Structure formats: C-alpha cells, structure tokens
Amino acid sequence: MRKVETRLRVRYAETDQMGIVYYSNYLVWMEVGRVEYCNQAGFQYRDMERKGGVMLTVTEAQCTYRAAAEFDDEVQILTWVTDLRSRSLRFAYEMRRARNCQLLATGATQHLVCNLDGKPVRLPKQYRSFFDV
C-alpha cells in the first residue's frame, strides 16, 4: 500500500476568528492529498480527465477532528487508497501537525469513476495500477 505525504502551511484565510482552521478546509486538504497521490503515482489527475476522459466523482466524504490546526502550522497529509473496484475507489487520510506529529484529523472519501458526461464507467486499465491497495 502506497502512502503519499503532502505538506502545506496553514494560511490565515483558512482560519476562523479564533485563529483555528475552519473545518471545511480539511476536505480541501484531502483533495490536495489526492492530487499529490496521483502525481507521485506517476500521472497527473488533470490528464486523467483531459486525456483519459474519466473523473473521480466524490460520492461520500468523512472527517473526524482530533485537534485544532492553527495559522502558520505546517500540516502533513498522508493519503492512500484503501479500496479499489472496477468503478469506484476509496482514499483514506491522516492530517498531522508536522512539528510534533500530533494527529489533527482522519478522513476518507469514496469516489465513483465517471466519464466526462457524469455517467459511471470502469476505471481504464492504464490507471488501475496507479491505485495500488
């Protein structure tokens, strides 16, 4: 199982009035992790859409918050695939404060493989090996 690490620094715009990262930003960070997973697997997500003609449509998203991230924290996002089927796949995530590895949140997203018209299709063979489980 390939786990991909992505790091980012919390921007001021991602925090609320209390200086804490607003909860929906964790879902954005999961997307950042997915795109980097694809890059490190050997292809660009946008090429899968533009050249491969398929998209990974989010059908479910889950996030459990463990500790608060704050402005200027460096966050480590670990991303991996936990389930791969002919028409769907599931990613899992851990988000940690980089300086002390404190767990900030865990999450998962379920994706349906669709063509550019939004119709479910099988994941093309040329991409299956990139999503090792």
Question: Does any domain span residue 41?
Answer: yes
Mean pLDDT of 112-121: 97
Report pTM: 0.94
Residue 1 in this model has a pLDDT that exceeds 90: no
Question: Does any domain span residue 83?
Answer: yes
66, HSE (Cβ side, Cα atoms, 13 Å): 11
| Percent of the chain at pLDDT exceeding 70 | 100
How many domains does the chain divide into?
A: 1
pLDDT of res. 132:
77
> Can you tell me the distance from the alpha carbon of 28 to that of 20, in angstroms, rounded to the nearest whole number?
15
> Can you tell me the distance from the alpha carbon of 34 to that of 40, in angstroms, rounded to the nearest whole number?
10
**Pick from 113, 107, 111, 115: nearest CA to 79:** 107
Question: Does any domain span residue 37?
Answer: yes
Question: How do residues 50-90 score in pLDDT, each as one tens digit?
Answer: 999 999 999 999 999 999 999 999 999 999 999 999 999 99
Conformation bin of residue 35: beta by default, left when phi > 0, alpha when psi is -120 to 50: alpha
Mean pLDDT of 91-101: 98
Q: What is the CATH number of the domain that holds 33?
A: 3.10.129.10
Question: Does any domain span residue 133?
Answer: no
∠ CA 82-68-31, rounded to 5°: 40
| Percent of the chain at pLDDT exceeding 90 | 96
Residue-range definition of the domain harbouring residue 121: 4-128
Residue 112 in this model has a pLDDT that exceeds 90: yes
pLDDT of res. 41:
94
Q: What is the mean pLDDT of the chain?
A: 96
**What DSSP state is assigned to residue 85?**
-
Mean pLDDT of 10-25: 96
Question: Does any domain span residue 121?
Answer: yes
Question: Does any domain span residue 56?
Answer: yes
CB 91 within 8 A of CB 37: yes
pLDDT of res. 29:
98
